[in-house]
Every structure is written in C-alpha cells, then in structure tokens.
C-alpha cells in the first residue's frame, strides 16, 4: 500500500473515492457545501460517528465517489484514527484501489495515517478462498501537515500491525522458537541489537521460574532481548519493555476448560505489543535508551510438566510454590523482569494478558494498570486518553501481597481464592522489580477483539502500541522530567 501526503487541489484527483470527515468548513467548495446542507436538511445525513454517506459521480470532482464520514461532535485524534480505519475497511470491502482523504488541516494527520495503516491490516492468510482486496494507493490532502507527523503515523501503524499479525498467527505456526526468529530478523532490520537466549542459557542464569512453565512442552523456551542504542540520548534513563509471550496457554496440568481454549493463542500479546513498540522507537530514532525483554514459552500439560505443589527457584533467588500451573504468566515475567533489572533497567513497563479477572473488573474498555510509579502511570494514562486507548489504575496496597506469600516457600503463584486476582498478580510481579520504577499493564481484556469493529476484523486489537510509542516520544522530549 502506497500512502502519501499531497498538497495540490482535490478536484483533479482521479480515484475510487474521496473520504471527507464531516467537520465544519470542509474544503470542498461551495457546490458540495450546498449539497451537504441539503442532505442535512432532508435528514439524510446526521454526521453521527461512523455514518457513511456515499455520493456517486460528484459533479465537481474527478473522483468516482464522494463519501462523507460522520465523526460525531468533536473531531479528535481518536475519531480521526477510527474514521480512517473504517474508511479503509469500507474501501476494501468494495474493492476500491485508489483513495483520497480530504482534511481541513494538518492537525490530525498522524492519527489519520495510523488509522489508514491500521484499517488496511490483512490477517494471516489461511482461507483458501480469501477475498481480501488491498487498497493500492492512498493520497492524503491535509493543508500544512507536517511530513514528520505523517511519517510517524505510518511507522507506528505498521508496528501495530506487526504486533497484530504475531497475535493472530495460530500457535502451531508460532511457538517460542518461531517467535524468537521472527523478532530477531525484524528487530535487526529495524536497527536493534538482538540477543536470543535458549534453554541452556536460561538454566545457567537460574531462570527456574520461566523454565518451570516451559517444561511440559516439546517446544523449548526463548528469552529475547532487543536493545535500541541511539547515537545521542537526552537523559540517563534506560526503559525496559517486558512482554509476556506465552505462545499458547493450555493452563498446563491445571488444564483450562475446552470452551474458548483456542483463544489462548493470544497469550503472547504482551510480547507482541512490546516488540511493536520497540521497533517503532528504533525506526523513529527516538533519542532515548530503550530495551525489550520477551519471555517466550508454551504452557502444556505432559509427563514432564510442572505439577501443582512443585517449588521452583526464580532468577533472583526467590522460591515459588506453583499452586496453579495456569497462573504461568507471572512465572515467566518474574524472570524476565529480573533479567531486565540485571541488564540495567532504570524504568520497567510490562504488558501481559495476565488475568481473566481484569475483564471482570474493567471489561474490554480499559487496560488494567498497576505499579509503583504514579507519575509514569499518569503519563501513560493521559497519553492513552488523548488517542482513545484507555488505561485505569488499580490500587496496590501491601495487604494484596498476603495471599501470595508462601508457607514452605517465599511466594506462591496463586492465592486461595479469586479475590482481586488482577492486583494480587501484580503484587507478585512487584517482588521482582527491585524497587525500580515500574508499570504493569494487564491487557487480557483488551488485546483481542471478540467481534469485528468498523476499523478492525475480529482478532488482535494491537492495543497499547500507539500509546506507549507516544509516551516514550514525549518522555524523550523532556515531558516526564
């Protein structure tokens, strides 16, 4: 898909459709304005969010169609992103090849560019009669748009789609080794330093917690470290992005019910998210030190699997009684976080499809956010809010650690009941961050779309990539000092 900014007039552009968001003062000229007000008066167009009004062979344009897109009352970055994605999906359905977006100004060009790439996402091909029809060319007219904003939008949109593609790929085609190979080649291409640790490396490091999850699977685990080492940096901090990459979660011997187990291919969405973020950071050459740790394992039941009651030792020396082998994400993250601290993290952000309980608390609307650094959390929340990705803080009182304290061991990986399951999981993780500034994002409720949306098919949502890249960008501009 070729997508570019254009600063000439709209009238002469030949295309299948011109999309115009319905905001006041559209730059279409008097004739179209009159048409629009007639349609409004007749009640045939209301401008509500998502409404598409298709006009054929508009007189004053070379385009075959003029399509007004309703954006509700305020046209902000969230609306612009959704509008563009919806337009792309509508165009693909109709097999349009060449599109134009006509915006009043350049303010929201990044969101529109991101939205176009997001909406153009093509899921991994498994259907023998796949009818997907990609758009070939998109031209965006946005007076006084900054090229760098547009470019950021494209890079970030592409990084979100990289994450989505990993999440949507079934586990038979994406185990820990395949995930590591993909991220290694794409990471190197993006300009990152890459280290891949295998089973024996992890044994040497004493990563008994992560390894205990991998034991039941025929597929060996991997721990991937990616580092963005920019030529110049603007501060001394070294942010580590840590992702849960359980390529399939059967629950292990504490087996999950068959109902919906197929969804557990998305249990690596945290790792996919963080990989998307760091590739975008590298491609945008953000002057900030950022690394990424991906803990990649498959959680299977077998004769070699960890049993409930087994006690394992994590990389930081702490012993953990495995009460429930389905609470495996925290066991993986425990060692991934320790490794990040060992490698020099000053700040940690982790993303994980960690608990079913987060969907009970927040549904699919908000990411559950916890941690020990309230200013970093506030920054992420505000950044997310500005583009329509929502984060909500849950409390982290010390009392929530009680259920995770062990009897025969230092810790246990699950409490006796399900109370505050999202928070107790986060308190467990906190035992591995060694007082570094840390934010934990539980994306179990938000990383996968159960139903298709106007701008996305059912499957991976790619949530949090856009917010985290923006959060690091503002940080590098001194926004967090």
As a whole number of angstroms, the distance between CA 118 and CA 89 comes to 10
3-state SS, residue 307:
coil
For 102, list phi and psi in degrees, rounded to 5. Answer: -110, 110
Among 16, 158, 328, 389, which residue interacts with ligand BES (rule: CB under 6 A)?
Answer: 328
Alpha carbon of 81 to those of 50, 108, 219, 364: distances in Å?
Answer: 12, 9, 39, 19
* Residue 314 site contact among Zn ion, ligand BES, none (CB < 5 to 8 Å, cut-off depends on kind): none
As a whole number of angstroms, the distance between CA 452 and CA 33 comes to 33
Among 78, 114, 249, 389, which residue interacts with ligand BES (rule: CB under 6 A)?
Answer: 249
Q: Which of 265, 330, 381, 412 is catalytic?
A: 330
As a whole number of angstroms, the distance between CA 211 and CA 202 comes to 7
As a whole number of angstroms, the distance between CA 190 and CA 118 comes to 19
Position 16 contacts Zn ion (CB under 5 A): no
As a whole number of angstroms, the distance between CA 393 and CA 383 comes to 14
Stretch that binds ligand BES, among 312-320, 351-359, 363-371, 384-392 (CB under 6 A): 351-359
Position 364 contacts ligand BES (CB under 6 A): no
As a whole number of angstroms, the distance between CA 286 and CA 304 comes to 44
DSSP for residue 389: -
* Residue 414 site contact among ligand BES, Zn ion, none (CB < 5 to 8 Å, cut-off depends on kind): ligand BES
Chain centre distance of CA 282? 16
State which of positions 230-269 bind Zn ion (CB under 5 A): 246, 249, 267
3-state SS, residue 345:
coil
Q: Cβ of residue 433: shortest distance to ligand BES, in angstroms?
A: 19
Among 183, 279, 355, 467, which residue interacts with ligand BES (rule: CB under 6 A)?
Answer: 355
Taking alpha carbons only, the member of 357, 362, 376, 102 closest to residue 239 is: 376
Per the DSSP assignment, residues forming a β-bridge with 183 are none
Q: Is 412 a catalytic residue?
A: no
Q: Cβ of residue 253: shortest distance to Zn ion, in angstroms?
A: 11
Stretch that binds ligand BES, among 36-44, 319-327, 385-393, 461-469 (CB under 6 A): 319-327
Per the DSSP assignment, residues forming a β-bridge with 439 are 349, 371
Among 114, 326, 430, 442, which residue interacts with Zn ion (rule: CB under 5 A)?
Answer: 326
Among 91, 327, 369, 469, which residue interacts with ligand BES (rule: CB under 6 A)?
Answer: 327
Stretch that binds ligand BES, among 6-14, 166-174, 321-329, 430-438 (CB under 6 A): 321-329
Q: How many CB atoms lie within 10 A of CB 86?
A: 23
In the shown chain, the binding pattern of residues 329 to 348 toward Zn ion, with x for contact by CB under 5 A and - for none, equals x-------------------
Q: For 378, how many CA atoms within 13 A lie in the half-sphere containing its CB?
A: 5
Position 421 contacts ligand BES (CB under 6 A): yes
Q: Please, which residue, 356 or 388, has the CB nearer to ligand BES?
A: 356
State which of positions 265-304 bind Zn ion (CB under 5 A): 267
As a whole number of angstroms, the distance between CA 446 and CA 262 comes to 17
Q: Is 225 a catalytic residue?
A: no
Stretch that binds ligand BES, among 64-72, 325-333, 368-376, 392-400 (CB under 6 A): 325-333
State which of positions 258-277 bind ligand BES (CB under 6 A): 267
Chain centre distance of CA 385? 15
Q: Which of 256, 307, 405, 436 is catalytic?
A: 256
Among 107, 149, 158, 326, which residue interacts with ligand BES (rule: CB under 6 A)?
Answer: 326
- Contact by Cβ (8 Å): 226, 275: yes
* Residue 369 site contact among ligand BES, Zn ion, none (CB < 5 to 8 Å, cut-off depends on kind): none
DSSP for residue 453: B
Q: Which H or E run includes 4?
A: strand 2-6
Catalytically active residues are 256, 330
Residue ranges binding Zn ion (CB under 5 A):
246, 249, 267, 326, 328-329
Site of interaction with ligand BES (CB under 6 A): 249, 267, 324, 326-329, 353, 355-357, 414, 421, 444
């Amino acid at each position: 898909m070729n997508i570019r900014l254009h600063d000439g007039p709209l009238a002469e552009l030949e295309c299948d459709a011109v999309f115009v968001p319905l905001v006041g003062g559209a730059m279409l000229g008097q004739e179209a304005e009159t048409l629009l007000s007639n349609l409004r008066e007749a009640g045939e167009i209301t401008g509500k969010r998502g409404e598409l009004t298709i006009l054929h062979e508009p007189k004053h344009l070379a385009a075959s169609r003029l399509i007004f897109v309703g954006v509700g009352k305020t046209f902000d970055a969230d609306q612009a992103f959704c509008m563009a994605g919806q337009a792309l999906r509508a165009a693909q359905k109709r097999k349009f090849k060449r599109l134009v977006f006509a915006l009043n100004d350049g303010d929201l060009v990044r969101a529109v560019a991101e939205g176009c790439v997001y909406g153009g996402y093509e899921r991994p091909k498994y259907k023998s009669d796949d009818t997907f029809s990609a758009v070939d060319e998109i031209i965006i007219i946005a007076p006084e748009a900054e090229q760098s904003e547009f470019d950021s939008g494209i890079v970030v949109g592409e990084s979100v789609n990289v994450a989505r593609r990993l999440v949507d790929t079934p586990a038979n085609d994406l185990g820990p080794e395949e995930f590591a190979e993909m991220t290694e080649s794409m990471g190197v291409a993006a300009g990152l330093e890459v280290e891949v640790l295998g089973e024996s490396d992890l044994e040497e490091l004493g990563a008994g917690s992560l390894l205990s999850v991998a034991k039941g699977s025929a597929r060996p685990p991997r721990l991937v470290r990616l580092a963005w080492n920019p030529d110049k940096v603007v501060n001394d901090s070294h942010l580590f992005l840590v992702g849960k990459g359980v390529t399939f979660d059967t629950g292990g011997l504490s087996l999950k019910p068959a109902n919906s187990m197929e969804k557990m291919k998305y249990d690596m969405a945290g790792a996919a998210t963080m990989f998307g973020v760091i590739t975008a950071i590298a491609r945008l050459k953000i002057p900030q030190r950022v690394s990424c740790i991906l803990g990649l394992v498959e959680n299977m039941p077998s004769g070699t699997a960890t049993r409930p009651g087994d006690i394992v030792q994590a990389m930081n020396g702490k012993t953990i009684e495995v009460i429930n082998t389905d609470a495996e994400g925290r066991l993986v993250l425990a060692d991934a976080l320790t490794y990040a601290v060992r490698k020099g993290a000053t700040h940690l952000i982790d993303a994980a499809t960690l608990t079913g309980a987060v969907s009970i608390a927040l549904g699919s609307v908000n990411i559950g956010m916890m941690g020990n650094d309230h200013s970093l959390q506030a920054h992420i929340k505000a950044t997310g809010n500005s583009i329509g990705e929502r984060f909500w803080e849950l409390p982290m009182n010390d009392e929530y650690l009680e259920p995770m304290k062990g009897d025969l061991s230092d810790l246990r990986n699950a409490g006796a009941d399900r109370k505050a399951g999202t928070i107790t999981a986060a308190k467990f993780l906190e035992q591995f961050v060694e007082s570094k500034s840390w934010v934990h994002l539980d994306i179990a409720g938000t990383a996968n779309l159960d139903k298709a949306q106007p701008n996305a098919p059912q499957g991976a949502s790619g949530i949090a990539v856009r917010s985290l890249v923006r959060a690091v960008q503002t940080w590098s501009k001194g926004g967090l000092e």
